[in-house]
């Protein structure tokens, strides 16, 4: 109870200060204090960028990108040095990608608005992280 009462005089003082500003004809919002640091902006690391899933069939695999078959047009996904490529739960290289192969993973938009692969699963991916066996 004492903590609440101790804070009340400060609250009344703050209200009184605001009322004094209104009586002077100052109706604008108070400017933020100049001693507070400005909001820090930083570039997010590759792993923190907002990513979203993709899946499809490889139409072609070119140096630095894969092209997925689409109903109306193909989808180009760029591969970077940070892209992780896996097959059956083990790391592999881009050279293992084959035309006509199922592929899935996650992509994000780069600064130019193009899709960059974050993670690529060659052969698709099942719940266990391994390619599913035919039934």
- pLDDT band for 47, please (50, 70, 90 cuts): very low
Confidence (pTM): 0.57
Look over the chain and give the mean of its residue pLDDT values, rounded to a whole number: 75
In tens, the pLDDT along 78-99 reads: 999 999 999 998 999 888 888 9
How confident is the model at residue 18, as a pLDDT?
52
Other CB atoms within 10 Å distance of the CB of residue 132: 11
Residue 128, pLDDT score? 47
């Amino acid at each position: 109870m004492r903590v609440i009462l101790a804070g009340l005089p400060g609250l009344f003082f703050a209200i009184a200060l605001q009322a004094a500003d209104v009586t002077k004809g100052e109706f604008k919002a108070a400017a933020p204090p100049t001693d507070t640091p400005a909001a820090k902006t930083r570039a997010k690391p590759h792993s923190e960028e907002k990513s979203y899933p993709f899946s499809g069939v490889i139409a072609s695999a070119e140096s630095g990108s894969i092209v997925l078959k689409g109903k109306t047009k193909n989808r180009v996904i760029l591969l970077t040095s940070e892209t992780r490529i896996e097959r059956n739960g083990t790391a592999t290289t881009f050279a293992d990608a084959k035309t006509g192969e199922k592929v899935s993973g996650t992509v994000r938009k780069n600064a130019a608005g193009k899709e960059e692969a974050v993670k690529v699963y060659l052969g698709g991916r099942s719940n266990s992280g391994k390619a599913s066996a035919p039934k």
